[in-house]
């Protein structure tokens, strides 16, 4: 292969000289000055959960069907899942869900997708490594992102996949990775996929989270609630690689085990411990809860219940954040900022402040660069 250095002498008036011999000029040979960038070999793919294409009930229905028919989300046999999802959950949920999306939708679209794109743009301003986004459900799909990357960079050798979930769950990180791998395998793309593991304890991420919280601590508050997206306890046990650790004892998540590499509960505890440690928040000033449950047997305590209990326990001024998400979305803006606030205030709360997700915080942009090496 011709190295870029060996071609550098060609750069002056190269195109006209080479044209004289009718040689096609590779696009990475610069004809204006002596800079000849390497052809792009590496790209970054940011992958998030996805949203419906619009707030029309038909689009929300299609999105919910795709989401809930995922066997890593509702992990029951196909026939039962089809009956449950297509006949019971989606028909019952689609209208309310569309209504909920309408309360947060922006003129650019779904906050989750708009904010993921803004993260892409903030990163792209700092690096020449091409960056694309993809969604697990809906658009753009990983295949669409691969096509765009390949068209613009035919010499691509590696796509670094960053699932935008700090914590491992079969219903978030695992399904995103498997879907991206499946779509890669379906066509003979010339590049490989390198997967970044969950970054729940990565120091740059923890630092970004801490600094995103810090300004909010200047005002008076009684308590900080770390509200994480819930998952069924069954999923925690299923993801236990040892087969005998997770949810088998009261303090399993504090007892060292290789199971923690894929234990959502352990990982959210760790994020909370590390970030409160960095901020020096005493143990009696914060707690963890789990939101957005769908069905029985999900991790406890439940955020919606805690929000109605807290004012009666003397917690009147609350700070709340949702570190399972890096971008604000339906579950933060509608569930926590909207309905959560109402529950807390109606139960006797005096002040309720939701700390936004990391979104495009400069330290988060920096953390993504550190975590992915772009
Ligand atoms: C931490 C990330 C997430 C996990 C884990 C997760 C598990 C999970 N979710 C559902 C059901 C629904 N989740 C919905 C929305 C939603 N979920 C996540 C992230 C995780 N989900 C995000 C970021 C969002 C918001 C998407 C957006 O467009 O803003 C919804 C759809 C909305 C609704 O109707 O409530 C459902 C349904 C299950 C069943 C599950 C694990 C088993
Ligand atoms: Fe655990
Ligand atoms: Fe969810």
Helix (H, G, I), strand (E, B) or coil at 321: strand
Residue 238: pLDDT over 80 = yes
CA distance 131 to 116: 11
Q: Find the 253 Cα to ligand 2 centroid distance in Å.
A: 4
Q: Is the CB of 334 under 6 A from ligand 1?
A: no
Q: Is the CB of 63 under 6 A from ligand 1?
A: no
CA distance 334 to 310: 20
pLDDT 10s digits, 49-95: 999 999 999 999 999 999 999 999 999 999 999 999 999 999 999 99
- For the segment 324-347, the average pLDDT, to the nearest whole number, is 98
pLDDT 10s digits, 49-60: 999 999 999 999
- For the segment 155-172, the average pLDDT, to the nearest whole number, is 98
Q: Find the 43 Cα to ligand 2 centroid distance in Å.
A: 34
Which ranges in the chain are annotated with CATH 3.40.50.1400?
203-359
What is the pLDDT confidence band of residue 4, given thresholds at 50, 70 and 90?
A: very low
Give the least confident one: 25-39, 133-147, 173-187.
25-39
Q: Find the 353 Cα to ligand 3 centroid distance in Å.
A: 22
Q: Is residue 43 within 8 Å of residue 146, measured between CB atoms? A: no
CA distance 358 to 374: 19
What is the pLDDT confidence band of residue 34, given thresholds at 50, 70 and 90?
A: low
Residue nearest to atom 4 of ligand 1 (CA): 172
Q: Is the CB of 93 under 6 A from ligand 1?
A: yes
Q: How far, in Å, are 184, 206, 325, 343 from residue 253 at the CA level?
A: 35, 19, 21, 30
User: Which residues belong to the annotated binding site?
Assistant: 229, 331
What is the pLDDT confidence band of residue 3, given thresholds at 50, 70 and 90?
A: very low
Q: In the CATH scheme, what is the code of domain 203-359? A: 3.40.50.1400
Q: Is the CB of 165 under 6 A from ligand 1?
A: yes
Q: Is residue 239 within 8 Å of residue 198, measured between CB atoms? A: no
Q: Is the CB of 236 under 6 A from ligand 1?
A: no
- For the segment 156-184, the average pLDDT, to the nearest whole number, is 98
Q: How far, in Å, are 145, 201, 336 from residue 166 at the CA level?
A: 22, 8, 19
What is the pLDDT confidence band of residue 104, given thresholds at 50, 70 and 90?
A: very high
CA distance 256 to 78: 36
Whose atoms come closest to the Cα of 326: which ligand? 1
The reported pLDDT for the residue numbered 306 is 98
Residue nearest to atom 32 of ligand 1 (CA): 97
Q: Which structure tokens are listed for 177?
A: 């990775």
CA distance 322 to 359: 12
To the nearest whole number, what is the mean pLDDT of the chain? 92
Residue nearest to atom 42 of ligand 1 (CA): 73
Residue 247: pLDDT over 70 = yes
The reported pLDDT for the residue numbered 35 is 66
Residue nearest to atom 33 of ligand 1 (CA): 97
Tell the residue number behind the tokens 């009666």, with chain if given: 312
Residue nearest to atom 38 of ligand 1 (CA): 73
Residue 15: pLDDT over 90 = no
Atom of ligand 1 at shortest range from CA of 330: 29
Give the list of residues 6+ apart from residue 112 with CB closer than 8 angstroms, or none.
48, 49, 50, 51, 327, 328, 329, 330
Q: Is the CB of 171 under 6 A from ligand 1?
A: yes
- For the segment 323-342, the average pLDDT, to the nearest whole number, is 98
CA distance 354 to 374: 31
The reported pLDDT for the residue numbered 22 is 38
What is the pLDDT confidence band of residue 335, given thresholds at 50, 70 and 90?
A: very high
Q: Is the CB of 55 under 6 A from ligand 1?
A: no
Q: Find the 213 Cα to ligand 2 centroid distance in Å.
A: 26
Please report the ipTM that was assigned to this predicted complex.
Answer: 0.97
Give the list of residues 6+ apart from residue 218 with CB closer than 8 angstroms, or none.
none
Torsion of CA 77, 175, 209, 128, to 10 degrees: -170
The reported pLDDT for the residue numbered 188 is 85
What is the pLDDT confidence band of residue 38, given thresholds at 50, 70 and 90?
A: confident
Q: Is the CB of 231 under 6 A from ligand 1?
A: yes
* DSSP states of 155-224: T--EEEEEES-SS--IIIIIHHHHHHHHHHHHTT-SSEEEEPPP-TT-HHHHHHHHHHHGGGGGS--SEE
């Amino acid at each position: 292969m011709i190295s870029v250095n060996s071609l550098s002498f060609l750069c002056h008036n190269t195109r006209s000289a080479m044209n004289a011999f009718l040689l096609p000029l590779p696009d990475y040979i610069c004809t204006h000055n002596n800079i000849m960038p390497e052809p792009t070999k590496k790209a970054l793919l940011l992958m998030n959960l996805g949203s419906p294409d619009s707030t029309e009930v038909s689009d929300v229905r299609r999105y919910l069907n795709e989401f809930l028919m995922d066997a890593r989300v509702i992990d029951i046999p196909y026939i039962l899942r089809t009956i449950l999802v297509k006949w019971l959950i989606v028909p019952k949920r689609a209208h309310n869900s569309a209504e909920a999306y309408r309360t947060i939708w922006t003129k650019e679209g779904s906050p989750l997708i708009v904010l993921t794109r803004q993260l892409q743009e903030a990163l792209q301003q700092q690096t020449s490594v091409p960056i694309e986004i993809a969604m697990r459900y809906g658009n753009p799909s990983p295949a669409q992102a691969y096509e765009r990357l390949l068209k613009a960079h035919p010499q691509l050798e590696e796509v670094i996949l960053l699932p935008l979930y700090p914590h491992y769950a079969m219903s978030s990180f695992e399904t995103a990775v498997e879907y991206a791998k499946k779509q890669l395998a379906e066509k003979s793309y010339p590049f490989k996929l390198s997967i970044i593991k969950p970054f729940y304890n990565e120091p740059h991420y923890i630092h970004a989270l801490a600094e995103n919280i810090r300004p909010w601590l200047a005002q008076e508050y009684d308590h900080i609630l770390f509200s994480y997206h819930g998952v069924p306890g069954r999923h925690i046990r299923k993801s236990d690689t040892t087969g005998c650790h997770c949810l088998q004892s009261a303090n399993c998540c504090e007892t060292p085990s290789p199971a923690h590499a894929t234990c959502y509960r352990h990982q959210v505890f760790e994020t909370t411990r590390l970030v409160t440690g960095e901020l020096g928040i005493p143990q009696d000033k914060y707690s963890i809860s789990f939101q957005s449950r769908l069905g029985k047997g999900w991790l406890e305590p439940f955020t919606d219940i805690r929000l109605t209990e807290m004012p009666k326990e003397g917690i009147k001024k609350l700070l709340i954040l949702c570190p399972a998400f890096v971008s604000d979305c339906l579950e933060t803006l509608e569930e926590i900022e909207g309905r959560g606030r109402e529950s807390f205030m109606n139960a006797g709360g005096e002040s309720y402040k939701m700390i936004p997700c990391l979104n495009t915080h400069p330290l988060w942009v920096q953390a993504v660069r550190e975590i992915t090496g772009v």
